[in-house]
Structure 1
Amino acid sequence: MKLINALLVAGLLSATPALAQDDEVLKPVVDEAAKINESAAKSQEKINGITDQIDSKLQQFKTLMKEIEGLEVYNTQLRKQINSQNQEMDDLNAAIDEVSVVERQITPLMMRMIDGLAQFIELDMPFLPEERANRVADLRAMMDRADVAASEKFRRVMEAFQVEMDYGRTMESYSGLHSINGQERDVEFLRLGRTALIYQTRDASMQGVWNKQTRQWEELDSSYRTQITKGLRMAKKQLAPDLLMLPVAITD
């Protein structure tokens, strides 16, 4: 047993110089391998970094492509809206041109209507002369105003005509001054549509009627006093509507 151990020790001792020589030979290889491994690790890190950058850029690219797709959809819709607005502008310009033509045509018509209204009032029974003359004057002044639209001008002209038409269907009383025998008297006027225009003094002592044929005022005798007073009260809503015996025939 001791012999074997001695041999083993001797063997090991005899092998030590050989192992030392092997280490010297292998050391450069090991060192080079270590360098290669280290370089490979660094290269892998670079590759991993590049891969991360590529993934990041790819994600940015995908995001950008989605934004581009969204912008393309938006631009397509925007082009449709612009085309629609352009069409609306064309239609509006065409409508403006039509309105301009209509306005040029309707303005002379309104002027003729106002002239006709003024002539009609002049030839009509002389009730509410100041009010009706002022209405015509206001219409003429309105026609010279640039800040009033043609549609509003036409509406007001038609409104004036409607007022005149309504006079023919209404019963009215109003106060005013009237010249009787060269003297101004305070009287009450009674208008029965356009059938009769009558006056009576406040004390009911004098009455008169407008003669449409002679276009003159004619005095009435006192027999009409009661009926005229009754008519005035009916016009003021103080009496219910009733029959009146008044000289309407002479206003034929």
Structure 2
Amino acid sequence: MLKYFLKKTILFIGLIFLTPAPTAMGSSLENLAKALAKIRGEVETLQTQLDTEKEKHGSRMSALNSQLADLSVEERRQKMSIEKLQHSIEKMTADAKKAEQSGENLKPVLLAILKDYKQYIQIGFPFKTEDRIKAIENLENNVVNQTIDPNKAINQAWSLIEDEIRLSKENGIYQQTISLSGEKMLVDIAKLGTVFLFFQTRDNRVGMAKRDTDNGWKFETVDDNDHIERITKLFDSLKKQIRQGYFELPNPLIK
């Protein structure tokens, strides 16, 4: 009887230890399922973020391609302008030879070329426009008033046009008086060839020259913080004589 009671007690104790096992396993599986569900949710979130970034990247590439096309158009415009100036030089040289150094025959040719050159500056890249036009007008007056030898006048005209071509290749910081919101003010200018022109005022406003119409330009400040930071970085780099490197800048060619 005692032996039977001991066997039953041992069996009962064994059941006590064995019974929780399925419960523990069920709890473990439940936790695993929750963890998998959480991971699946994180994967779906990451996939959504990845799709969004891909879409943003596609839009950005499309915008950059559009800007690249604008820059290509502007580059062709500048090349055509330079080619026109070079053609003027060649024509002036040829006409000078035909005139056989005759001042009276050479004068109308030279004045016609200076007139075309002045019109080119008036509607062209807005860098120190008044100074460049003044140099042409001084030469025109000297030719008209015959206070300069025609051959010397040709050399001066040649030098002015060469300066114009050199402008298209130079980057740097300059000072210039511009019209901003109807007010004349002296500002620092960051000139990149004859395509981009950014400015910085004495009160730390920044902006850029933009085409107003096909025959004009205007100076506008920028309000976007990213654009302000990029233009400021360009000025800092040029002032430190850093003229090469990667610069991300706002595009003034965008309408």
Q: TM-score range by the shorter chain?
A: 0.5 to 0.7
Question: Do the aligned partners of residues 115 and 184 (structure 1) sit closer, same or farther apart at CA in structure 2, a change above 3 Å counting?
Answer: closer
Residue number in structure 2 paired with 1:16: none
Contact 1:210 1:251 (8 Å CA) reproduced: no
Aligned length: 154
Query: Whole-Å Cα distance in 1 between the matches of residues 122 and 249 of structure 2?
Result: 25
Question: Do the aligned partners of residues 201 and 118 (structure 1) sit closer, same or farther apart at CA in structure 2, a change above 3 Å counting?
Answer: same
Identical-pair percentage: 21
Residue number in structure 1 paired with 2:110: 110
Query: Whole-Å Cα distance in 2 between the matches of residues 180 and 141 of structure 1?
Result: 31
Question: Do the aligned partners of residues 152 and 202 (structure 1) sit closer, same or farther apart at CA in structure 2, a change above 3 Å counting?
Answer: same
What runs of 5+ residues in structure 1 fail to find an aligned partner? 1-97
1:211 and 2:216 aligned: no
Contact 2:198 2:207 (8 Å CA) reproduced: yes
What runs of 5+ residues in structure 2 fail to find an aligned partner? 1-98
Tell me how far 1:242 sits from its aligned partner: 1.7
Question: Do the aligned partners of residues 137 and 113 (structure 1) sit closer, same or farther apart at CA in structure 2, a change above 3 Å counting?
Answer: same
Contact 2:206 2:228 (8 Å CA) reproduced: yes
Query: Whole-Å Cα distance in 1 between the matches of residues 122 and 108 of structure 2?
Result: 21
Tell me how far 1:147 sits from its aligned partner: 4.7
Query: Whole-Å Cα distance in 1 between the matches of residues 148 and 179 of structure 2?
Result: 40
TM (norm. structure 1) is: 0.53
Residue number in structure 2 paired with 1:170: 170
Residue number in structure 2 paired with 1:29: none
Partner secondary structure for residue 189 of structure 2: strand
Query: Whole-Å Cα distance in 2 between the matches of residues 115 and 163 of structure 1?
Result: 17
Structure 1 counterpart of 2:220, which letter?
A: E
Counterpart selection for 1:241 from 239, 244, 247: 244
Larger radius of gyration: 1
1:191 and 2:191 aligned: yes
1:121 and 2:124 aligned: no
Tell me how far 1:109 sits from its aligned partner: 1.5
1:21-71 per-position Cα deviation (integer Å, ceiling 9, x unaligned) = xxxxxxxxxxxxxxxxxxxxxxxxxxxxxxxxxxxxxxxxxxxxxxxxxxx
Partner secondary structure for residue 99 of structure 1: coil
Structure 1 counterpart of 2:151, which letter?
A: S
Contact 2:210 2:218 (8 Å CA) reproduced: yes
1:172-203 per-position Cα deviation (integer Å, ceiling 9, x unaligned) = 32224444334454421111111111112234
Query: Whole-Å Cα distance in 1 between the matches of residues 153 and 181 of structure 2?
Result: 43
**Whose relative contact order is higher, 1 or 2, with alpha carbons under 8 Å and at least 6 apart?**
2
C-alpha RMSD of matched pairs (Å):
2.7
Equivalence map 1:39-58=2 (5 Å)? none
Structure 2 counterpart of 1:169, which letter?
A: K
Contact 1:212 1:251 (8 Å CA) reproduced: no
